[in-house]
Amino acid sequence: MKAAVWHGYKDLRISEVPAPKAKPGHVVIKVAWAGICGTDRHEYTGPNFIPVTKPHRLTGKLAPLTIGHEFSGTISELGEGVTGWNVSDRVTANGTLCCGKCEMCLSGRYNVCEKLGFLGVNLDGAFADYVEVEAARLFTIPENVTLRQAIIAEPVACGIHSTRLLGDITDEDVVIVGPGIIGIGCFLAAKLAGAAKIMVAGVGEDRKALVESYGGSYIDVMKTDLKEAVAKWSDGKNAGVVYECVGSQRTLDSCISVMKPGAKLMVMGVFEKPPTFPMNDFQEGERRMYSSQAHLDEIGVALDYFSKGDINADELITREVTLDTLVVDGFEELIKNGPKHIKIAIKIND
């Protein structure tokens, strides 16, 4: 079968590899669509999480391996002992890999397993004709949701999971710094969780129309000072909830600068360098910081929202590529024109 195999930075090869066979408790899925995630982009440009020298603590895998964890498709093979699923079922899956034995796994929080791994990072992933996943991680795609739309469920699930961790945010004014797919996922989740007003901040105006169509405000931080804009927008009160969806010193500082006393900060960005933290400003006012790692059952929640029509997943796909055009039209395009794209979709099989 064809697969996108990661060998190193900027060395992603579209190769012929053996198709997977379903192990006990697992299924093989014929992949229809996949999505390029920020994580995949990090693997392409570095710094990478794919192990290159030391085998992964859970899977024992090393590069080269097939990347990709956002996907949809139909089950093509059932492993021994799999019940409740049939060949041809339309599915997507949670790419989290866990040990099932540690304290966090046993308490149901397998997304923070002590041996945590991820499909497409620590095990062969979904940018391929076929992918093998554990049956326990599958989600049925509702009949009125297309396989193309279903690839958006995973990034939206990250926003829903982080918003659940924040507890009650009803009637809070929310600021989201970073208008990529994770920021948009947080926007949709915060709106559905009953937030009052939501402002999204980003560089450039590519996301303005979309955010406004969702009923939010958008500001271009190249033109407008975030602190002043938030003060005006919130009648001087500042935000009760702030999501950091970029991962840089500058965006972290601006997030903290718009938090009212008692406000909550959710850190979603991946930091390439450890930031310094303005602890005294933060502490003054008992501000609280949260972090979030992937998701649990929230892919199912996202698919439900799509099915009910609360979220139009199609408008979040800004380009379609194939495995053959993935490197140039997908990854290189994201490096050149990143802010233009929300999600680049890969069409793999009909």
Positions in the binding site for Zn ion (CB under 5 A) = 37, 70, 98-99, 102, 105, 113, 154
Cβ closest to Zn ion, residue 63 vs residue 99: 99
Task: Assign 307 to helix, strand or coil.
Answer: helix
Cβ closest to Zn ion, residue 67 vs residue 78: 67
Cβ closest to Zn ion, residue 102 vs residue 203: 102
Residue 220 Cβ, how far from Zn ion at the closest point, in Å?
A: 26
Cβ closest to Zn ion, residue 218 vs residue 305: 305
Q: How far apart are CA 163 and CA 282, in angstroms?
A: 20
Cβ closest to Zn ion, residue 99 vs residue 270: 99
Residue 238 Cβ, how far from Zn ion at the closest point, in Å?
A: 31
Cβ closest to Zn ion, residue 139 vs residue 218: 139
Token digits for 119? 């499909």
Q: How far is CA 209 from CA 179, 194, 223, 226, in A?
A: 12, 22, 16, 18
Q: What is the 3-state secondary structure (H, E, C) of 193-238?
A: CCCCCEEEEECCCCCHHHHHHCCCEEEECCCCCHHHHHHHHCCCCC
Task: Assign 121 to helix, strand or coil.
Answer: coil
Query: What's the start-to-end Cα distance of the chain, in Å?
Result: 15
Cβ closest to Zn ion, residue 93 vs residue 265: 93
Q: How far apart are CA 177 and CA 168, in angstroms?
A: 20
Q: How far apart are CA 320 and CA 177, in angstroms?
A: 26
Burial class (CB in 10 A: 0-12, 13-18, 19+), 270: middle
Q: Which helix (H) or strand (E) is 256 found in, with range?
A: helix 249-257
Task: Assign 260 to helix, strand or coil.
Answer: strand
Residue 182 Cβ, how far from Zn ion at the closest point, in Å?
A: 8
Residue 237 Cβ, how far from Zn ion at the closest point, in Å?
A: 34
